[in-house]
Chains A and B, each alone.
Chain A
Amino acid sequence: MTGDTKEQAKEKAGAAKATNIAREVGPIRRAYYQRIREAKDRGEFTAWSMIGQPDAIFAAFDVIPVLAENYGPVCAAKLVGDRYCEIAEAEGFSADICSYLRTGLGIAKLQHDLGGEPPDEAPYGGMGKPDMLIGFHSFCDGRYKWMQQLARYLDVPYFGYDLKDWPDGWDVNDPDLKRHMVNHAYEQLKRLVAFMEKVTGKRLDKYRLSEALRCTVKTSELYRKTMALRAAHPCPLPAQDSAALPFPMFVINGYPECVDFYQRAYDEIKYRAENKISSVPEEKYRLIWYWLIPWFYLGLYNWLEETFGAVTIGTGYGGAEIPPSEDMIDYDFPLESMARIMYEGFGSHQTIRRTSAYYLRQAELAKVYDVDGAVCMLVASCRGTTDIYHAWHVLKDNTEDIPALAMEADMVDTRTYSDVMVKQRLAAFIETVDAAKRKRQKG
């Protein structure tokens, strides 16, 4: 980060965690990456993909997902994200494309130059040697386009499937439209299953799939219930902890261990909420942080707490959604159930980000969490979240005097981050937040 020495930057990269469950994620992560390194020796399959992949299908085939959106933050936290981004840029990829994907492309290029072996220098030994690349078109263009570019470096089968998010303005109760979208998702998932059968040599066990689906639904329910506890005063789960929490859901979803983890998470955070346990001695301000976070400096949230008594609630990975329920699963037809679930409930593909309804829900969350201010990063490399100003308009129209701040930064690439600038703006923002809070309190 500009202005810091190497030691200062390293110190800032980590964050002091307030909860035990967040501290559990480190060992899970190390075990996961070890499993990736040893996958070939154990006859296991790995697939490079992106968050949002159909976890239950991966679990049913015991294919380990290796996610650019996860490895990018890992590299950012280890302060090596810039290096891999630069490698990708030297290949001709624009610095404006997603820094998670630039990290992945940089790793792939290095791996290619090493004859296919993951680079020793890479955190946790890299992303492994994939057996397949799986892309899908939902949430953002990079999710499916990236895989095509990886073919420059990786000679493995690439499969992409089409998954459409519900457009803004379509009637969510129209049965014909719902049938049209669900059927498309089902047919595309069938193609994915056929592809995985071919690559792994295994047939899909539909009862295994049903069980995995049940686990994912249960996990979603526990995760959302845990996030909802952040409405308590003081907030029992600050952003530096909630940033770590989704990790198991991304990489071991569909397994009972994942359900167990989120049950423990829910139990601990519920205890903290009921006993008013906070990450700060006195919670003076509550901020909501929308979407992307600076993975190379999660300590920023500690700084806000220590300097201003400001606790941050992060919504980047969930919190707005209303999860599907287990009674939506027909265990005899799990694939059809998956397709149906994709378009049920808020936060599913029926409303994910592409509709203004999603932003209305985010504005509602600001009230649910009783926040005093909203913060977001303006990330030039993320087209999927290039609607912060729209979110602010919706927030302004639907809440009472909650100040909002948008700051230029990136989630992986430290070259665009200025610690001095960010902290100055946050400090000034807290003054605005304070004034607005006093005004609201006066009525």
Chain B
Amino acid sequence: MSKERQTGGLLEVAKGLAENRGRRAKELKSEGRKVMGYFCSHMPLEILTAADFIPYRIQGNMEEPVTEADVYLDPGICPYLKSCYDMVLKGRYDFLDGWVTPDSCDSRICLYKVWRYNLKPAYTYWLNVPSFLDEECFSFFKEELAFFKKSIEGFTQSKISDGKLYEAIDLHNEQRALLRELYQLRKPEPPLLYGSEVLQVLLAVTSLPVKEANQLLKGIVAEVRERQDGPERSRGRLLIYGPEIDNPALLKVIEDCGGNVVIDDACVGTRFFWHDVEKTDDPLDGLTNRYLGKNMCPRTIRGKMEGRSTYEADLEERFGHIRGFAQDYDVNGVILHIMKFCDLHEYDVPDLRGYLEKKGLPVLHIESDYTMAAVMGLRTRIEAFIEMIS
């Protein structure tokens, strides 16, 4: 069982914000601020911040059964997105002034048109994101960002200057640096943070205006450096991989079984903050390079194309960063946590599993249907896995 954790402090504040995620956004909304919902790590938040929106990452709720969305969304759609829409239908996202999404996956396309058709939101935007990384795709994506910026300007009736964009880039880069600094505190054994605590911080941060989030993060980093009540030595230092792991319940089960997630390759994780936006002459160039080129989501094809490399080199290009994380964080096991019906991650499982096992990393592959029942049922398998790797 994980050690009983002391209450109080900024980690506790983050926990409260994560458990009641919309609270702060609603407070700010009542003070006249505007809130723009978004999905996915491919969404260039700097454009939203530069337009004076609070970027608010839309999440579902694993703890609440879907009761409304089943009438609108097929059984075979991503369960996380179905939960998100269920929250929308229940009014939990009424405080949003609009919402935007990048071109992440087929389920997102379905949600986009269903939400628009049935609820007619005040503002929505679909951002095309290329699935390949040739030079022309970068040019296309840069123009996409220009169109997106123009659309936001039209909605707000206010131009976004380069100056405001640079300012937003600085703020978001500051946030990324703070999160990387926080992640450094997971390197020691035992780490100074539980994986579930880190996820709570991420959930909190993605519900706040960037300046406020950065203040909170600075305080948390300082607090954690000095903490005396951190985790005990674990039997398993784990990397968790997968889409939309947005409820600490799974990580707490891992912790209860004597393990600890010390690093991730996940949407609500390193994918959204690991790389900075470079400040280029045209700020859209920096945003293009970062949001298309640096986000390591399997929706983007990397590696072996046009016969230019071997299968092994292809795997290294696609998954080498995970190996790097595992080495840097002294990981001794990997959990592939794959959402049911998430085709883009599911296609990669055999290649990824094979690659990691060849690198000497034991792998546990679990499938989630984004319910608490799914999480609770995994305890035995996780216990056995941690037993095996410890």
Contacts and interface: CB of A to CB of B under 8 A. Distances in A.
Interface of A: 91-94, 96-98, 137, 140-142, 144-146, 148-149, 151-152, 155-162, 164, 167-170, 176-177, 180, 184, 187-188, 191, 195, 198, 354-356, 359, 378-384, 386-390, 393-394, 406, 408
B366 interface: no
A151 B109 contact: no
Interface stretch (B130-138, B206-214, B270-278): B130-138
B343 A383 contact: yes
B131 A167 contact: no
B75 A380 contact: yes
A97 B307 contact: no
Shortest Cβ-Cβ A-B pairs, 4 listed: A157-B307, A167-B126, A92-B350, A383-B106
A168 B346 contact: no
Interface string B235-259: 0000000000000000000000000
Interface in B118-152: 118, 124-126, 128, 130-132, 134, 136-137, 139-140, 143-144, 147
Contacts of B144: 180
A390 B136 contact: no
Given A159-B305, A387-B74, 4 more contacts: A142-B347, A180-B140, A383-B341, A387-B77
Nearest to B131: A137
Given A96-B340, A162-B140, A354 B116 contact: no
B76 A354 contact: no
A159 B134 CA distance: 11
B343 A97 contact: yes
B309 to A, nearest CB: 10
Contact of A386 (B77, B125, B132, B311): B77
Contacts of B143: 180
A184 B144 CA distance: 11
Interface string B66-98: 000001111111000000000000000000000
Nearest to B106: A383
Nearest to A188: B136
A97 B347 CA distance: 8
Contacts of B222: none
B110 A94 contact: no
Interface residues of B, number: 58
Contacts, number: 165
Contacts of B225: none
B73 to A, nearest CB: 6
11 contacts: A94-B338, A96-B76, A149-B347, A157-B305, A159-B306, A160-B301, A184-B136, A187-B139, A187-B140, A356-B117, A384-B106
B85 to A, nearest CB: 11
Contacts of B116: 168-169, 356
Contacts of B304: 148, 151, 158
B343 A145 contact: yes
Nearest to B118: A393
Interface in B144-187: 144, 147
A66 to B, nearest CB: 18
B299 interface: yes
A32 to B, nearest CB: 26
Contacts of B351: 148-149, 152
Most A CB contacts (10 A, CB to CB) among B109, B112, B344 go to B109
Interface string B184-201: 000000000000000000
A327 B341 CA distance: 43
B285 interface: no
A91 B348 CA distance: 11
Given A146-B347, A393-B117, A380 B128 contact: no
A373 B152 CA distance: 43
Contacts of B76: 96, 378-383, 386
B103 interface: yes
Contacts of A92: 349-350, 353, 365
Contacts of B117: 356, 390, 393-394
B74 A180 contact: no
A94 B369 CA distance: 13
A390 B116 CA distance: 11
B105 interface: yes
Given A94-B346, A144-B301, A164-B128, A378 B75 contact: yes
A174 to B, nearest CB: 10
A144 B76 CA distance: 20
Contacts of A94: 338, 346, 349, 367
A295 to B, nearest CB: 18
B124 A169 contact: yes
A412 to B, nearest CB: 15
Given A157-B306, A184-B140, A191-B136, A97 B346 contact: yes
A390 B110 contact: yes
Interface in B308-341: 311, 314, 338, 340-341
B346 A354 contact: no
B295 interface: no
B288 interface: no
A251 B250 CA distance: 48
B314 A151 contact: yes
B110 A191 contact: no
A201 B340 CA distance: 43
Contacts of B299: 141, 145
A401 B306 CA distance: 52
Contact of B107 (A159, A380, A383): A383
Contacts of B140: 162, 180, 184, 187
Nearest to A138: B131
Contacts of A142: 343, 347
B33 interface: no
Given A162-B137, A386-B74, A155 B347 contact: no
A18 B116 CA distance: 42
Most B CB contacts (10 A, CB to CB) among A160, A177, A383, A393 go to A383
A356 to B, nearest CB: 5
Given A162-B137, A381-B76, A148 B341 contact: no
Interface in B41-81: 71-77
B114 interface: yes
B305 A177 contact: no
B113 interface: yes
A387 B134 CA distance: 32
A406 B132 CA distance: 35
B132 A161 contact: yes
A160 B131 contact: yes
A387 B147 contact: no
B247 to A, nearest CB: 21
Contact of B347 (A148, A162, A390): A148
Contacts of B347: 93, 97, 142, 145-146, 148-149
B281 to A, nearest CB: 22
Most A CB contacts (10 A, CB to CB) among B71, B114, B124, B131 go to B131
Given A380-B341, A383-B343, A393-B118, A191 B349 contact: no
Nearest to B305: A158
Contact of A141 (B73, B105, B126, B130): B105
A170 B125 CA distance: 9
B256 to A, nearest CB: 28
Nearest to A140: B106
